[in-house]
């Protein structure tokens, strides 16, 4: 393998995690997890704790015996049976907590090592998996949660996502990448897959080939957030639907073989793409894929930021999808189970998760809509949320995350509630919060991004937030701009109220909050 050829000559340059991965592949950790489930928490070695990520399992703060687990949901599409199984796992092992992530996955907390094998088995029984939901490998594939029902999609991407997800899942040729690796596949013209912040993304495009208009994809590489964010760059290629897997293998092979493995914070694909540039990257890709047509016509016309709340017509006449708001992405096991029931009674038997941490129930016939909208669950998970709580995104934060500097979810809920009470606005403003620079809450793409930090005051250190404004994706994509100064946590809500009121009173007609 080229990876070995490139690095084996001088392993002294590899970082500590790389040496661990050479010792034992991350995917081998499953055997260890079964063993530790019998031996107990105290038997687990520090190295194996690290490898648990390949099983989608992390130690939960404060590292005293509990774990979180992330479950992959490709393109965010769950059957009601799968949703019910997730609810059962949460209830039986995870204190009833269910978090929807910004990558359409679901996370559990409060798991113990003794229970993890049983959870794996329950997931497998309904075709779900936490394998490689974390770790230096291809993560959950994000995409259009409306795939197959979307009036705004060029093609149904479900079979393509499945093909790519099935190929990479547990594939030992790609289980040792330099760092985490995120793929997005969407044919939605409003960029439902958040293409520009993924390592590899496919967005809808068309091209005239031999006198016929072909529907396919454009390809973007090297996007990612964290402390040093990059927007992905588009390659000069057009990819037919049947060639998506080939191109995904090619790009992932380049990352595996040429990605940087010396410093952890310089190992994402974005750094290689930034150094090579899209032209050289394309040349290397074509060596692996063979010739590809050059770019066609971009069909992305805007960005919906992963929001589908409200009642909307599907592409199938007489059917509707209803997007429900899940405040800061958190629900409980009973609510998820109820969503599964509603999907069966009113919809097409699927529940869909969104990058905005919300959910969609599709396939509701016109004649069932009124009864559906009257369901009790929709009082909290409402399709018509107030402006700010309906557009509030939060990472896990200090409640469970070892890297966090501050609490996030409850704080974001309080901030959004304050704004809903104090500011009336006719246009949504998206608020995102991160508990540290790692950006699981994707604060850089928010209209208003908050990054948790600490601040010295005369009363000692207090929680505080850095404030950034004006992020957006899609045409005109740009990260938000950090403002000067740091705001103590208890001042954030009134400061934002003043900022948003200033925007409201000074905007030009139709002027959005973000920059372009
Ligand atoms: Fe944890 Fe930081 Fe990610 Fe939040 S952004 S979940 S604090 S690593």
Q: Give me the helix-helix angle, 158-168 and 244-258, nearest 10°.
A: 30
Over residues 153-181, mean pLDDT: 98
Both tokens of 300, joined, read: 């992305």
Active site residue 51: no
pLDDT reading at 211 higher than 60: yes
Residue with tokens 């990260």: 479
**439 C-alpha to center of ligand 1: Å?**
6
Please report the pLDDT score of residue 511 as a whole number.
87
The chain-wide mean pLDDT, for the chain, equals: 96
Residue 27, classed as helix, strand or coil, is: helix
Angle at 201 between CA 152 and CA 300, to 5 degrees: 30
Burial class (CB in 10 A: 0-12, 13-18, 19+), 386: middle
Tell me what the mean pLDDT of segment 118-143 comes to: 98
Cα separation, 496 vs 419, in Å, equals 8
Model confidence over 38-91: pLDDT tens digits?
999 999 999 999 999 999 999 999 999 999 999 999 999 999 999 999 999 999
- pLDDT, mean of residues 227-238: 97
Active-site position among 72, 179, 282, 330: 179
Q: Which of 70, 229, 441, 446 to mutate to test the pocket of ligand 1 (most atoms within 8 A of CB)?
A: 441
Here the tokens at position 510 are: 């139709």
What backbone torsions phi and psi does residue 244 show, to the nearest 5 degrees? -60, -45
Active site residue: 299, 440, 470, 471, which one?
440
Active site residue 306: no
pLDDT-based confidence at residue 312 (cuts at 50, 70, 90): very high
Confidence of residue 1 (pLDDT cuts 50, 70, 90): very low
Band of pLDDT at residue 273, cut at 50, 70 and 90? very high
Residue-wise pLDDT for 459-482, tens only, equals: 899 999 999 999 999 999 999 999
Distance of CA 480 to the CA centre of its chain: 18
Question: Percent of the chain at pLDDT above 70?
Answer: 98
The backbone torsions φ and ψ at residue 57, rounded to the nearest 5 degrees and listed phi first, read -120, 130
Task: Give the pLDDT confidence score for residue 58 in this predicted structure.
Answer: 96
Structure tokens at 2: 């080229």
How remote is the CA of residue 403 from the centroid of ligand 1, in Å? Answer: 6
Distances (CA, A) of 169 to 49, 108, 134, 165, 195: 21, 20, 12, 6, 21
Both tokens of 419, joined, read: 């704004």
Q: How far apart are CA 264 and CA 260, in angstroms?
A: 8
Active site residue 228: no
* Stretch among 14-23, 335-344, 488-497 having the lowest mean pLDDT: 14-23
Could you confirm whether 435 is annotated as catalytic? yes
Higher local confidence (pLDDT), 509 or 484: 484
Q: Which whole-number Å values give the CA distances from 409 to 348, 390, 395, 479, 480, in the listed order?
A: 31, 14, 7, 22, 21
Q: Are 56 and 133 in contact (CB under 8 A)?
A: yes
> What's the mean pLDDT in 481-498?
97
274-295 pLDDT tens trace: 999 999 999 999 999 999 999 9
- Contact criterion met (CB below 8 Å) for 55 and 325: no
In this structure, what token pair is assigned to residue 296? 């066609």
Cβ contacts of 458-464, under 8 Å, gap ≥ 24: 462/488, 462/489, 463/405, 463/406, 463/407, 463/488, 463/489, 464/406, 464/488, 464/489
Residue to mutate, 412, 439, 466, ligand 1, most ligand atoms under 8 Å from C-beta? 439
Q: Judge residue 433's burial from the number of C-beta atoms within 10 Å of its C-beta, 0-12 exposed, 13-18 middle, 19 or more buried.
A: buried
* Helices within 40-115 (DSSP H only): 46-51, 80-93
Pocket test for ligand 1, best of 225, 328, 403 (most atoms within 8 A of CB): 403
Question: Is 380 assigned a catalytic role?
Answer: no
Q: How far is the CA of 156 from the centre of ligand 1 (A)?
A: 33
Span 411-437, mean pLDDT?
96
Distance from the alpha carbon of residue 408 to the mean position of ligand 1, in angstroms: 9
Annotated catalytic residue 180: yes
Tens digit of each residue's pLDDT (9 = 90 or more) over 2-39? 555 566 557 788 999 999 999 999 999 999 999 999 99
User: Over pLDDT 90: what percentage of the chain?
Assistant: 95
Tell me the pLDDT band of 92, cut-offs 50, 70 and 90. very high
453 confidence band (pLDDT: 50, 70, 90): very high
pLDDT attached to residue 251: 98
How would DSSP label each residue in 282-296? HHHHHHHH---PPP-
Distance from Cα 298 to the centre of ligand 1, integer Å:
33
Minimum mean pLDDT among 4-13, 143-152, 234-243, 412-421: which range? Answer: 4-13
Report how far Cα 155 is from the mean position of its chain's Cα atoms. 22
């Amino acid at each position: 393998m080229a990876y070995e050829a490139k690095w084996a000559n001088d392993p002294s340059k590899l970082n500590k995690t790389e040496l661990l991965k050479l010792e034992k592949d991350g995917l081998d950790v499953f055997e260890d997890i079964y063993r530790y489930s019998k031996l107990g928490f105290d038997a687990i070695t520090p190295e194996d704790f690290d490898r648990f990520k390949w099983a989608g399992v992390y130690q939960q703060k404060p590292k005293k015996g509990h774990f979180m687990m992330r479950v992959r949901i490709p393109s965010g599409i769950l059957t009601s049976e799968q949703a019910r199984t997730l609810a059962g796992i949460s209830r039986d092992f995870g204190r009833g907590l269910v978090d929807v992530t910004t990558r359409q996955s679901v996370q559990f907390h409060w798991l113990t090592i003794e229970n993890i094998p049983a959870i794996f088995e329950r997931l497998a029984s309904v075709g779900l998996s936490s394998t490689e939901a974390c770790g230096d490998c291809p993560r959950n594939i994000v995409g259009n949660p409306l795939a197959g029902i979307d009036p705004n999609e060029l093609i149904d991407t479900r079979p393509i996502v499945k093909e790519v997800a099935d190929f990479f899942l547990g594939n030992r040729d790609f289980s040792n990448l330099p760092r985490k690796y995120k793929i997005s596949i969407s044919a939605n013209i409003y960029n439902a897959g958040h293409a520009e912040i993924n390592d590899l993304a496919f967005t809808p495009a068309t091209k005239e080939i031999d006198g016929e208009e072909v529907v396919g994809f454009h390809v973007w590489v090297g996007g990612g957030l964290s402390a040093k964010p990059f927007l992905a760059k588009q390659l000069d290629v057009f990819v037919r639907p049947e060639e998506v897997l080939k191109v995904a293998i090619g790009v992932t092979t380049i990352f595996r073989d040429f990605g940087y493995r010396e410093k952890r914070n310089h190992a994402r694909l974005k750094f290689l793409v930034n150094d090579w540039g899209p032209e050289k990257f394309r040349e290397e890709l074509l060596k692996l894929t063979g010739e590809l047509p050059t770019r066609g016509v971009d069909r992305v016309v805007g960005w919906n930021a992963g929001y589908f709340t409200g009642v909307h017509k599907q592409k199938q006449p007489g059917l509707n999808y209803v997007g429900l708001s899940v405040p800061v992405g958190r629900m409980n096991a009973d609510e998820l189970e109820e969503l599964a029931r509603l999907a069966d009674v009113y919809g097409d038997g699927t529940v869909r998760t969104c990058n905005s941490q919300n959910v969609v129930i599709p396939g509701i016939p016109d004649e069932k809509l009124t009864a559906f909208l009257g369901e009790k669950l929709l009082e909290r998970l409402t399709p018509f949320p107030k402006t700010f709580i309906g557009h509030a995104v939060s990472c896990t934060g200090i409640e469970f995350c070892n890297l966090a500097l501050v609490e996030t979810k409850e704080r974001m809920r309080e901030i959004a509630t304050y704004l809903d009470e104090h500011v009336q606005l006719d246009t949504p403003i998206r608020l995102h919060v991160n508990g540290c620079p790692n950006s699981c809450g994707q604060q850089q793409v928010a209209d208003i991004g908050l990054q948790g930090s600490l601040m010295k005051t005369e009363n000692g250190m207090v929680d505080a937030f850095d404030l950034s404004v004006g992020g957006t994706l899609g045409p005109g994509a740009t990260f938000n701009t950090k403002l000067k100064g740091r705001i103590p946590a208890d001042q954030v809500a009134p400061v934002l109220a003043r900022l948003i009121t200033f925007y409201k009173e000074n905007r030009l007609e139709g002027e959005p909050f973000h920059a372009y």
